[in-house]
Amino acid sequence: MDCIKIALVDDHKMFREGIKSVLSDEKSIQLVAEAGNAEEIINSLSNCKIDVLITDISLPGMSGIELCRYAKIYCPQLKTLILSMHTDEEFVLDSVKSGASGYLSKETGHEELIYAIRKIAAGEIYFSHNISQTIIQAYRKDKKSTEVNPTEFLSQRELEVLKLYVEGFSNSEIAEKLFISVRTVESHKTHILQKTGLKSHVDLIKLAIKFKLTDL
């Protein structure tokens, strides 16, 4: 990807200006659209080739979570990064269920924001540490998780891929560690989802933690 094209939605102009300033220093990232509410940005999503949508949750009118859900349906190739002051469980889980590829607190530093954008644009997911902890805590309270131990039906290689993925390694890093291609890693992830009957990578993280497939 030569240049990552960004759309930014936040109802605070000063905050948008701050993000624009950060992104302006990155030659490989270009802000091509911005708005103060979700409705304003929707036309840009359809008219521009945008790679990553960055949105707050609290917006006038349509919320950032609703915008994320809209993007998932009408712009399925678009990746959404939530950037919000809300870090409690309800907002985090609703965002993930709505299709967000990442979630950062507005207190996140500039370097982590750029790192997250690049990860998400490359097809990965990215959650800051405190958000990951929120997801883990939510899992621990979840009494409806599957009771079938994945070691009973996943292959050894699939378990290796799952463990490395949950520990935060990208597809390319997993491929390098296991001496396989990135495409093979992606194929293993698809098979793992199919075998477990789960719908998202967040559910895979919960599953791995439940059955202690990782030291997280």
* Model confidence pLDDT, tens digit, residues 30-72: 999 999 999 999 988 876 789 999 999 999 999 999 999 999 8
Give the model's pLDDT for residue 142: 60
Do 58 and 161 lie in one domain? The reply is no
Task: Please choose, from the candidates 103, 106, 195, the residue with its C-alpha nearest in 3D space to the C-alpha of residue 155.
Answer: 195
As a whole number of angstroms, the distance between CA 69 and CA 64 comes to: 9
- Is 89 in the same domain as 110? yes
Q: Are 196 and 142 in contact (CB under 8 A)?
A: no
The pair of three-digit structure tokens given for residue 171, joined into one six-digit string: 């597809």
User: Which of 88, 119, 139 delimits the end of a domain?
Assistant: 139
Q: Which domain holds residue 198?
A: 144-210
- In this prediction the pTM is 0.67
What is the predicted pLDDT for the residue at 146? 47
Low-confidence winner among 53-67, 115-129, 150-164, 189-203 (lowest mean pLDDT): 189-203
Amino acid at 61: G
Q: Decide which of 92, 119, 139 is a domain's last residue.
A: 139
Q: What is the pLDDT of residues 65-110, one digit of tens each?
A: 999 999 988 888 899 999 999 988 889 988 988 889 999 999 999 9
